[in-house]
């Protein structure tokens, strides 16, 4: 994306060279076209700004709307003042890339955009760009609304000023959509992207790791998480699919009422993003005792494990396994077994694998993938470590018939026969084909 400006300039040079070779005296059009605001004259823009509670930029058809969420105001189950970023917050556990930025809490900018479409590309315009940051214990939300295509350069300049003072950019799926789209718009206007060297934390991947198991069909949309995780419910919210149509209606009619709900939707997205991030950091910092359900404990264990904090990972997996949900219990015990095996605690790992088999519901035919993995691990453990060949054979027979399983059973039978023919210590016989 950083090379896009250079590529665009190269395209213009080639067009000019081709036109000159053809003797065409017609001017070559620029890649960026800024149409007049049309019916959006100064009086109309002033009226829209007044209705939406904003101010009109003096350098283009761009409105700036500010709102402040006081620190003692609640957003779901969290108070705004409790969400202020702190340097002790373990953001590196959610995204290791942030470990290099010691001053990340200095000025965290939460960022979200509304566009004329989701396909991206040169024809997609970010007509509403929202930013939020903490001032003391309060949260300020600033929105830049492009009241006409000619207002985009002014919006980009004002947004760059906000980003210039940022220490961390926080988005929700912004790494894949919001930031690349905005970098394209800056490139089209021959401007450097202020996001190039700005640390970026995308909350979507951590949210999926923490809460995908609890959401319907694996959905981790921000609006879904704000209901289930922080307990915030929107009233009369504008659906996302309706937002582009409302903007085009505003351009045709200059009716600011059609866009008021879009601004409110964007504001809720920004406040929810700040609160969800704060809640995720709080969970990771406090540990499994702060979780409201076993699925969060299991997710915390995986986050700790990935970060190399094995003691906390073991505690989280152990806490997650204390549930009546047999499927979740099996997953927690399987993760715990792998962690213990890597630590060289083979008896404890075998006990965890046994727990995976014991958690299986009764009256079910066959083993699921986790149970097959547990049976294989137990067969290996009892054959090579515990040296209990009958138990090893028992677990091997639980596995689906295959060449490997048959080879294992044949080897175990040979060892049993060899041990039976050896006087004294049966394990004095050599262990064949280990």
> What are the start-end ranges of the E strands in 27-99?
54-56, 62-69, 74-75, 78-79
Spell out the residues 6+ positions from residue 45 whose beta carbon is closer than 8 angstroms to its own: 37, 56, 61, 63, 147
Phi-psi region of 236 (alpha: psi -120 to 50; beta: other; left: phi over 0): left
pTM exceeds 0.75, yes or no: yes
Task: Based on the fold, state whether residues 317 and 235 are members of the same structural domain.
Answer: no
Task: Based on the fold, state whether residues 427 and 340 are members of the same structural domain.
Answer: no
Task: Based on the fold, state whether residues 139 and 247 are members of the same structural domain.
Answer: yes
pLDDT of 140-194, one tens digit each? 999 999 998 789 999 999 999 999 999 999 999 999 999 999 999 999 999 999 9
pLDDT of residue 20: 60
Identify whether 32 is part of a domain: no
Spell out the residues 6+ positions from residue 410 whose beta carbon is closer than 8 angstroms to its own: none
pLDDT of residue 201: 97
Identify whether 423 is part of a domain: yes
Task: Based on the fold, state whether residues 409 and 317 are members of the same structural domain.
Answer: no
Identify whether 150 is part of a domain: yes
For the chain, residues with pLDDT lower than 50 are: 1-2, 5, 25-39, 217, 423-424, 426-434
pLDDT of residue 148: 83
Identify whether 24 is part of a domain: no
Domain that holds residue 195: 42-286
* Tokens representing residue 131 in the block: 């930013």
Task: Based on the fold, state whether residues 371 and 337 are members of the same structural domain.
Answer: no
pLDDT of residue 290: 95
Task: Based on the fold, state whether residues 182 and 318 are members of the same structural domain.
Answer: no
pLDDT of residue 17: 64
Give the number of domains in the chain. 3
* Largest pairwise CA distance in the chain: 105
* Distance separating alpha carbons of residues 262 and 112, to the nearest angstrom: 12
* Tokens representing residue 319 in the block: 């806490």
- Identify whether the C-beta of residue 131 lies closer than 8 Å to the C-beta of residue 179: no
Residue 387 DSSP class: -
pLDDT of residue 30: 41
Task: Based on the fold, state whether residues 190 and 302 are members of the same structural domain.
Answer: no
pLDDT of residue 6: 54
- Identify whether the C-beta of residue 349 lies closer than 8 Å to the C-beta of residue 341: yes
Last residue of a domain, one of 286, 317, 332: 286
Task: Based on the fold, state whether residues 55 and 136 are members of the same structural domain.
Answer: yes
pLDDT of residue 150: 84
Task: Based on the fold, state whether residues 313 and 262 are members of the same structural domain.
Answer: no
pLDDT of residue 23: 57
Task: Based on the fold, state whether residues 390 and 271 are members of the same structural domain.
Answer: no
Task: Based on the fold, state whether residues 244 and 99 are members of the same structural domain.
Answer: yes
How many separate helices (H) and strands (E) can be counted in the chain?
16, 9
């Amino acid at each position: 994306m950083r090379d896009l400006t250079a590529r665009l300039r190269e395209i213009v040079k080639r067009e000019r060279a081709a036109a000159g070779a053809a003797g065409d005296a017609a001017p070559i059009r620029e890649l960026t076209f800024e149409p007049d605001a049309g019916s959006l004259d100064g009086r109309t823009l002033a009226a829209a700004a007044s209705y939406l509670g904003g101010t009109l930029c003096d350098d283009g058809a761009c409105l700036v709307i500010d709102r402040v969420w006081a620190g003692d105001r609640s957003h779901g189950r969290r108070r705004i003042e409790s969400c202020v970023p702190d340097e002790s917050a373990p953001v590196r556990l959610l995204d290791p890339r942030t470990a290099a930025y010691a001053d990340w809490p200095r000025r965290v900018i939460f960022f979200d955009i509304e566009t004329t479409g989701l396909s991206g590309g040169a024809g997609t315009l970010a007509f509403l760009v929202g930013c939020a940051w903490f001032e003391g214990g309060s949260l300020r939300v600033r929105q830049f609304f492009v009241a006409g295509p000619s207002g985009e350069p002014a919006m980009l300049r004002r947004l760059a000023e906000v980003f210039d003072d940022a220490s961390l950019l926080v988005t929700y799926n912004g790494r894949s959509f919001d930031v690349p789209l905005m970098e394209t718009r800056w490139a089209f206007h021959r401007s450097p992207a202020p996001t190039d060297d700005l640390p970026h934390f995308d909350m979507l991947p951590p949210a999926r790791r923490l809460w995908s198991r609890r959401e319907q069909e694996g959905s981790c949309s921000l609006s879904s998480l704000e209901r289930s995780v922080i307990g915030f419910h929107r009233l009369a919210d504008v659906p996302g699919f309706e937002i582009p149509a409302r903007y085009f209606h505003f351009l045709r009619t200059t009716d600011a009422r059609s866009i008021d709900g879009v601004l409110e939707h964007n504001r809720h997205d920004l406040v929810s993003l700040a609160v969800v991030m704060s809640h995720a950091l709080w969970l990771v910092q406090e540990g499994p005792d702060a979780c409201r359900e076993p699925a969060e404990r299991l997710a915390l264990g995986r986050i700790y494990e990935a970060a190399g904090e094995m003691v906390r990972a073991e505690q989280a997996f152990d806490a997650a396994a204390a549930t009546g949900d047999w499927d979740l219990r099996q997953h927690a015990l399987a993760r715990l077994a792998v962690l213990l095996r890597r630590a060289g605690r083979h008896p404890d790992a075998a006990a965890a694998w046994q727990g995976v088999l014991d958690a299986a519901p009764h009256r079910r035919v066959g083993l699921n993938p986790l149970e097959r993995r547990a049976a294989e691990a137990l067969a290996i453990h009892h054959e090579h470590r515990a040296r209990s060949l009958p138990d090893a054979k028992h677990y091997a027979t639980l596995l689906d018939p295959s060449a490997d399983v048959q080879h294992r059973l044949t080897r175990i039978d040979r060892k049993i026969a060899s041990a039976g023919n050896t006087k004294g210590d049966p394990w004095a016989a050599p262990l064949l084909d280990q």
